């Protein structure tokens, strides 16, 4: 059963054009040119219960606008959407108790108070029973390893600690749908990994439906089997992550280190050289030839070590966007 259904959802913003300068500012009081920006253009998709989907696109693509419409923060210009059977922008109390939105660049915690105070406030807002609140809080703080910082002022916490507390605040009422907008932005590598591991485990145990936007492709690779790619407000791809890679990338990377220096001319015959040092090379080799090329290099060159790597997902995404810009 689909937890989220989106049909021809659109959002157009109105704004006014104004020339610089005092005289133009005065003129704009009497006459202004109205302009329009289509942030989201008739998008369609559905997400099943318990599914975790990566929602990808460049800045200004329409990702956050779509999440805001699905969470009821803003009204659409056209189209329809249902989340758990509810129309989000009607903002029914029953719906608001079943979803949560976490934005990596916005805080929902009280800055000058300990996180625990915000948790208690959320408990009252969402009318969470005492026993359920205690059980859920203990479970979440244990999973995220933050029991020792609950009584510390939020402004004194590190960015990683604050994001963990943001997740706890969002999940205290046990929502069925979670919208995550750049949850790991600005975090160090260790904190990013901790957040990913938590989300993976929580999704598996609670069967919560998650839409994740992120510019860190490591997030998407670690968490999402399916991705929806949006650009200029339109859906460009909706399907499996591995299928996306297979569709756009027909090569692998062969990383080879040598025991002695090898001439560049001797390496060009094996593939396209991506990186080169005295005793190391990274070659771009067609997938169907990669094993053959690796075997030949082992036989003919002074190879010390050889690795066959997949192309990074972010390179796949860049290629999709660049192809789209060339066609438009």
Is the distance from CB of 301 to CB of 262 less than 8 angstroms? yes
Partners of residue 219 on adjacent β-strands: none
| Residue 318 domain-assigned (yes or no) | no
User: CATH number of the domain that 230 lies in?
Assistant: 3.40.50.300
Nearest to 308 by CA among 287, 328, 323: 287
Residue 48 main-chain phi, psi, to 5 deg: -80, 160
Q: Answer yes or no: do 185 and 298 share one domain.
A: no
Work out how many domains the chain is built from and give that number. Answer: 2
pLDDT values of the chain reduced to their tens digit, one per residue, 328 residues: 799 999 999 999 988 887 788 787 777 777 778 888 999 999 999 999 999 999 988 778 889 899 999 999 999 999 999 999 999 999 999 999 999 999 877 788 999 999 999 999 999 999 999 999 999 999 999 999 899 999 999 999 988 899 999 999 999 999 999 999 888 888 888 888 889 999 999 999 999 999 998 877 778 888 999 999 988 889 988 999 888 877 777 888 999 999 999 988 889 999 999 999 989 999 999 988 999 999 999 999 999 999 988 777 667 777 776 665 555 5
Q: Answer yes or no: do 258 and 241 share one domain.
A: no
What is the token pair recorded at 43?
Answer: 């998008």
Q: Answer yes or no: do 272 and 232 share one domain.
A: no
pLDDT at 59: 79
What is the token pair recorded at 280?
Answer: 């190391």
Q: Which domain holds residue 131?
A: 2-12+40-246
| Residue 328 domain-assigned (yes or no) | no
157 Cβ partners below 8 Å, 6+ apart?
Answer: 115, 149, 165
| Residue 24 domain-assigned (yes or no) | no
Q: Answer yes or no: do 189 and 282 share one domain.
A: no
Is the distance from CB of 278 to CB of 212 less than 8 angstroms? no
Q: Answer yes or no: do 161 and 88 share one domain.
A: yes
Q: Answer yes or no: do 202 and 291 share one domain.
A: no
> How far is the C-alpha of 237 from the C-alpha of 128, rounded, in Å?
39
pTM of the complete model: 0.79
| Residue 222 domain-assigned (yes or no) | yes
Q: Answer yes or no: do 258 and 207 share one domain.
A: no
| Residue 74 domain-assigned (yes or no) | yes
> How far is the C-alpha of 270 from the C-alpha of 182, rounded, in Å?
40
What is the token pair recorded at 10?
Answer: 């659109």
Q: Answer yes or no: do 139 and 225 share one domain.
A: yes
Q: Answer yes or no: do 88 and 191 share one domain.
A: yes
User: CATH number of the domain that 301 lies in?
Assistant: 3.30.70
> How far is the C-alpha of 241 from the C-alpha of 251, rounded, in Å?
16
Q: Answer yes or no: do 255 and 109 share one domain.
A: no
């Amino acid at each position: 059963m689909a937890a989220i259904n989106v049909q021809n959802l659109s959002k157009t913003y109105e704004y006014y054009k104004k020339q610089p300068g005092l005289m133009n500012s005065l003129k704009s009081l009497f006459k202004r040119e109205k302009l329009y920006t289509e942030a989201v253009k008739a998008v369609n998709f559905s997400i099943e219960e318990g599914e975790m989907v990566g929602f990808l696109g460049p800045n200004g693509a329409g990702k956050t606008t779509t999440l805001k419409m699905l969470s009821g923060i803003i009204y659409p210009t056209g189209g329809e959407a249902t989340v758990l059977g509810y129309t989000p922008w009607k903002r029914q109390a029953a719906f608001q108790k079943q979803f949560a939105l976490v934005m990596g660049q916005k805080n929902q915690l009280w800055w000058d108070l300990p996180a625990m105070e915000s948790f208690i406030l959320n408990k009252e807002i969402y009318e969470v029973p005492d026993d359920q609140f205690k059980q859920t809080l203990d479970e979440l703080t244990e999973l995220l390893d933050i029991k020792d910082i609950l009584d510390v002022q939020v402004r004194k916490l590190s960015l990683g600690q604050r994001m963990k507390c943001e997740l706890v605040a969002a999940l205290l009422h046990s929502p069925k749908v979670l919208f995550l907008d750049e949850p790991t932005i600005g975090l160090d590598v260790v904190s990013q990994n901790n957040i990913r591991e938590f989300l993976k485990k929580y999704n598996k145990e609670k069967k919560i439906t998650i839409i994740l936007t992120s510019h860190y492709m490591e997030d998407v690779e670690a968490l999402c089997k399916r991705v929806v790619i949006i650009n200029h407000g339109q859906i460009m791809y909706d399907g499996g992550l591995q299928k996306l890679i297979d569709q756009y990338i027909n090569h692998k990377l062969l990383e080879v280190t040598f025991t002695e220096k090898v001439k560049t001319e001797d390496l060009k015959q094996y593939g396209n050289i991506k990186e080169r040092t005295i005793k190391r090379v990274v070659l771009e080799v067609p997938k169907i030839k990669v094993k053959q090329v690796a075997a030949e290099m082992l036989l003919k060159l002074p190879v010390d070590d050889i690795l066959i790597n997949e192309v990074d997902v972010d390179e796949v995404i860049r290629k999709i966007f660049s192809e789209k810009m060339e066609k438009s």
